Amino acid sequence: MSSPSATPTKGKRTRGSNPPTPTQSEPVVFMKLMVVINGEICCSLPAPLNEIDMSSPLTYGTPSSRVEGTPRSGLRGTPVRQRPDLGSVRKARQVDLHSDHANGPEAPASEHSVGQKLVIWGTDVNVGTCKEKFQINVVGDPVLNVNCEHLQSFDADLYRQLIAYPQEVIPTFDMAVNELFFERFPDSVIEHQIQVRPYNALKTRNMRNLNPEDIDQLITISGMVIRTSQLIPEMQEAFFRCQVCAFSTRVEVDRGRIAEPAVCRNCNTTHSMALIHNRSIFSDKQMIKLQESPEDMPAGQTPHTTVVYAHNDLVDKVQPGDRVNITGIYRAVPIRLNPRQSNVKSVYKTHIDAIHFRKTHEKRLHGLDEEAEEKLFTEERVRTLRELAAKPDVYERLSSALAPSIYEHEDIKKGILLQLFGGTRKDFSQTGRGGFRAEINILLCGDPGTSKSQLLQYVYNLVPRGQYTSGKGSSAVGLTAYVMKDPETRQLVLQTGALVLSDNGICCIDEFDKMSDSTRSVLHEVMEQQTLSIAKAGIICQLNARTSVLAAANPVESQWNPKKTTIENIQLPHTLLSRFDLIFLMLDPQDEAYDRRLAHHLVSLYYQSEEQLEEEFLDMAMLKDYVAYARSYIEPRLSEEASQALIKAYVDMRKIGSGRGMVSAYPRQLESLIRLAEAHAKVRFSDKVETIDVEEAKRLHREALKQSATDPRTGFVDISILTTGMSATARKRKEELAQALKRLIQSKGKVPTMKYQQLFDDLRAQSDVAITKDMFEEALQALTDEDYLTVTGKTVRLL
């Protein structure tokens, strides 16, 4: 590649010796005409690029001049629009091409199979769709977006030419499209002539790879917009008038410069021509600064930036903060010689003339935009992922790859793994229940220093849309959203908090127990409805917060008290607790074998070399990709057996309790089971939830329950600890006490009132278990509720 200014010469040479491909091969190019009507309909028009009149100069903008005589009235009225994004048109005009007419064959009829909303734009016109097309043409943007990938699969040579000489090839495309269009719809009126916008050029993806060889070529890069300038009016055509004789002339811009006429052609006065600004033609231009997206960057380096110019209707299409894919022509501004200086700065300034913007979103976990997602995984990567998925022990492998520096806690890691994958999103809004949550929420509670925070930190680093907050340091608004005055625009803007930012990700909340009650209460809505309602400063809205919550809590007494229930230990409202699918206890097991393994693990952490460990575990990147792939492509559904197994599991769970007169499962637990089973199916890359998934879900659920919902008094699993905050035995005990108290009072005979203290002492004397004042009061309260007695001050009165 020679210097940038030398390229046009080269381009011309190639063109002269090598006529454009469309005329040679059978030119049926399938192009997507992405004409959007009110943002709804997309049309795919397979368009044969034939019948390009190559004999005429590239006056693609004014085909009417070439088709005189043909009755195309609509065509003549269509204004030409200059394409500043392609640079000077004049250069293209100089291209001398062979006259070469080629008549493409009729497009095969099979092309009709392009679906309902699609019309075929080929030689074989489907008349029935004409009307539709007419509408399209009237209201839509006269822009034809061409996916370069399609072009490449059609004709690699044409693609190569497009990449190498976009400045020349795109006008020919424009020409072909306009000709075809006006041939088909002679009467249509559009804003200006159709412009072709290629996108998705495979040339360059990453800003870091740009090098001098890319200059003047068509490239596609991804990045983030960091700054946009004001609109810059750029002169396209200057209008000069002679101040002596009022003779006027127009001068076109050539490579960013206007050659001021030195002499008036009419009266021959020198330096009499003056520029008349408001009769000159200007086009819109905007400078955009694009920065490398953080994912593309090698560690330890700062991001690169590139200047992009947007022209005409691309101006103001993007905002700072947007992630975009930009297709455009990479330019280097040639060095200008300054006659006043003997030396010149030898650095070129570079920029990109944007032809096409495509907004992308950071959806590494949830892909909705299929095309963007495709690029994330190369075929090779997908193959490795699939291979991994086919292994029987993939579940164990992945869970051990999760935070390898944290020892054991296998089930917790498995739970977090399932949380990463999530369930399948279901929509029951038809039947009035709204969406079912697919996200799995997990609470870790346990002794301080059991690496809960480390686990949270790991998860936060693993997921692309993770947020890490500490319960101590976050307020309700910090979690949800707050309204503030923008310092620049003085307008009220909604600033989103951690929960909204982690939409489609995981929100890690450390020190969950230290959160204030008001803060915690906002979590109720998020954790079940997955939305966030805000009514502040005149802004009333509902934001999506489809986030999984991974929370860690310490016991109130700093050390876990095994004699107390979970609720009593962490003092969280049971309404919130029941929204967690899994609640794990991270306790020091205090058992010798465990200690030994733990010690071994830690010591090896300190002396094993990096390589040794890498062999043992899957690396983090692989895990990331695996999760991302599963989340975007796998949507498991329940199979028949699995549903039966789930039903059975649920019924079993209910049964356990019913024997002792308590309920041990609620529909929420069933939902949790379903989610877990689905997540497990996702781990296996399976589209069906099968019995093994249900088995694992059941096991994990039971494991978590066993840890967190065991009644310390009886040793039985009791779900009501989590759902009502009190174990069934505790409730029973309370009832018994109330009855005992009632009997005691009845045994006293007909006494309308009695002393409070006296009654308490009597009850204590009678009972064989220790009765605290609290218990006594509870019993009294229960009897009051029964309308058996009332308590006033220090006296108890029978009713």
CB of 6 to another protein, least distance (A): 6
Can residue 410 be called a binding residue for another protein (CB under 8 A)? no
Distance separating alpha carbons of residues 468 and 366, to the nearest angstrom: 20
- Which residue is associated with the tokens 């943007």? 141
Report whether 173 contacts 146 (CB < 8 A): yes
Choose between 261 and 404: whose C-beta lies nearer to another protein: 404
CA 584, CA 419: separation in Å to the nearest integer? Answer: 13
Where in 431-460 is the site for another protein (CB under 8 A)?
449-451, 454, 457-458
CB nearer another protein, residue 268 or residue 405 = 405
Q: Which residue from 74, 261, 334, 434 is in contact with another protein, where contact means CB under 8 A? A: 334
74 vs 464 by CB, closer to another protein: 464
Instruction: Choose which of 332, 481, 527, 552 interacts with another protein (CB under 8 A).
Output: 332
Give the list of residues 6+ apart from residue 546 with CB closer than 8 angstroms, or none: 437, 438, 439, 503, 504, 530
**Chosen residue from 5, 249, 266, 575 binding another protein by CB under 8 A:** 5
End-to-end CA distance of the chain: 103
Whole-number Å distance between alpha carbons of 100 and 110? 28
Q: To the nearest whole angstrom, how small is the minimum distance from the Cβ of residue 610 to another protein?
A: 6
**Integer Cα distance of 598 and 269 in angstroms:** 96
Closest CA to 477 of 493, 492, 505, 499: 499
CB 401, min distance to another protein, A: 10
Q: What is the largest CA-CA distance in the chain?
A: 132
Give the integer Cα–Cα distance in Å for 293 and 289.
12
Task: Considering the complex, state which of residue 191 and residue 362 has its C-beta at the smaller distance from another protein.
Answer: 362
Q: Tokens in use for 225?
A: 């917009």
Q: How far is the CB of 238 from another protein (least distance, A)?
A: 13
Output 429-432 pairs: Cβ under 8 A, ≥24 positions apart. none
301 touches another protein by CB under 8 A: yes
Residues 342-381: x/- map of binding to another protein (CB under 8 A)?
A: xxxxxxxxxx------------------------------
Counting residues that bind another protein (by CB under 8 A) gives: 81
Which one of residues 268, 405, 714, 746 is an interface residue with another protein (CB under 8 A)?
405
Position 294 contacts another protein (CB under 8 A): yes
Q: In the numeric block, which tokens belong to residue 517?
A: 């009650």
Tokens representing 519?
A: 């803060």
Spatial distance between the Cα atoms of 138 and 190, rounded to a whole number of angstroms: 6
**Could you tell me if 586 and 412 are in contact, meaning their C-beta atoms sit under 8 angstroms apart?**
yes
Residue 51, both tokens: 């019948």
Smallest gap from Cβ 454 to another protein, in A, equals 7
Residue 375 C-beta: closest distance to another protein, Å: 20
Contact set for another protein, span 188-247 (CB under 8 A) = 210-212, 215, 224, 226-227, 229, 232, 234
337, 535, 769, 770: which one binds another protein (CB under 8 A):
337
Q: Which tokens belong to 464?
A: 């692309």
In this structure, what token pair is assigned to residue 294? Answer: 């953080």
* β-pairing verdict for 434-436 and 426-428: antiparallel
Residue 508 CB, shortest distance to another protein, in Å, is: 12
- Residue number with CB closer to another protein (1 or 782): 1
Q: Does 494 bind another protein (CB under 8 A)?
A: no
> Could you tell me the smallest distance in angstroms from the CB atom of residue 398 to another protein?
14
List binders of another protein among 599-658 (CB under 8 A). 599-600, 602-607, 610, 613, 620
* Residue 586 or 674 with smaller CB distance to another protein: 586
Phi, psi of 562, rounded to the nearest 5 degrees: -70, -10
For the segment 65-124, give every residue that binds another protein (CB under 8 A): none
| Site track for another protein across 570-589, x = CB under 8 A | ------------------x-
- Least separation in angstroms between CB 397 and another protein: 16
**Is residue 596 involved in binding another protein (CB under 8 A)?**
yes
Helix axes 691-708, 410-421, angle to 10 degrees: 120
